[in-house]
Amino acid sequence: MRVIITKDYDEMSKEAARIIAKQIKEKPDSVIGFATGGTPLGTYKELIRMHKEGGLDFSKITTFNLDEYYGLGPDHPQSYHYYMFENLFNHVNVDPKKIHIPDGLAKDVEAFCKKYEEEIKKAGGIDLQILGIGRDGHIAFNEPGSSLASRTRLVALAEETIKDNARFFEKEEDVPRYALSMGVGTILEAKKILLLASGESKADAVAALIEGPVTSQVTASALQLHPDVTVIIDEAAASKLKRKSYYKFVDKMYRMLEEKKSL
């Protein structure tokens, strides 16, 4: 696991966008797993800038989103389908036929989730999966206690998640109680994983992810078992890490290697 500690949210966002852009340039037909929420917004703005000013080409990529609220249609302003188009897809040249987002109105949920898994495999698997992290250490909507081998399914949201997401709705009662979500096992099958976290409110979760035991009570901790994970966090999110100076030193060494390779 490579840990990159940036000075602030803006630097975190630009570093993440650089990694995503590098993936797309090296493999134009990459399969990218996208995340929603407040954290990746800066990254998506930077990717839009790279597309408009630098010609970053999204035309050949295939996308899969992590999750969607169950009960919300694609036109609902708080749906993740709406979020992705509003904050990224409408502003770059991604092919609409290659966009995959869980259907929050699926009538046969079990059949839809099975098909979603099949579509990922049919696409060749996810090359780069982008993740955020919840305050309780969850990834996607894999709440504490979720199986680390779980697949795409309907999940009941934890009370803390409902309260955290209430800021996006008029009132807490409007927050859906269920979601369709990729499982931890699904996420771990991605070839590369990029997790972003910002702010002091995520510091405990980040420490549990990086330095805590692997446990279903902190589903992000399962990323310790993956061979290619990059975690980008700002100083505030890194504040509870015990080995912060070590991570900074290792990142410095990695950057020196990368500079030599580019010469």
Indicate which residue of 15, 46, 51, 67 is catalytic.
67
- Which pLDDT does position 79 carry in this prediction? 96
Q: Is 143 a catalytic residue?
A: yes
- Which pLDDT does position 16 carry in this prediction? 98
- Which pLDDT does position 260 carry in this prediction? 85
Residue showing tokens 């897809």: 89
Q: Is 136 a catalytic residue?
A: yes
Q: Is 100 a catalytic residue?
A: no
pLDDT in tens, 196-244: 999 999 999 999 999 999 999 999 999 999 999 999 999 999 999 999 9
- Check residue 251 and give left, alpha or beta (phi > 0: left; psi -120 to 50: alpha): alpha
Class of domain 2-262 (CATH, top level)? alpha beta
Using pLDDT thresholds of 50, 70 and 90, give the confidence band for residue 116: very high
> Taking the model in full, what pTM does it have?
0.96
Residue % of the chain over a pLDDT of 90: 91
- Which pLDDT does position 164 carry in this prediction? 86
pLDDT in tens, 173-200: 899 999 999 999 999 999 999 999 999 9
Q: Is 67 a catalytic residue?
A: yes
Q: Report domain extents, the chain.
A: 2-262
Alpha helices (H) in 200-243, listed in sequence order = 203-211
Q: 47, 92 in Cβ contact below 8 A?
A: yes
Residue % of the chain over a pLDDT of 70: 100
Indicate which residue of 15, 143, 164, 234 is catalytic.
143
Which residues, 6 or more positions from 237, have their beta carbon under 8 angstroms from its beta carbon? 197, 198, 199, 200, 202, 203, 206
Indicate which residue of 81, 127, 138, 234 is catalytic.
138
Indicate which residue of 15, 46, 136, 164 is catalytic.
136
Mean pLDDT for the chain? Answer: 96
Using pLDDT thresholds of 50, 70 and 90, give the confidence band for residue 8: very high
- Per-residue burial over 45-58, b = 16 or more CB atoms within 10 Å of its CB, e = otherwise: bbbbebbeeeebeb
Using pLDDT thresholds of 50, 70 and 90, give the confidence band for residue 245: very high
- Provide the residue count of the chain: 263
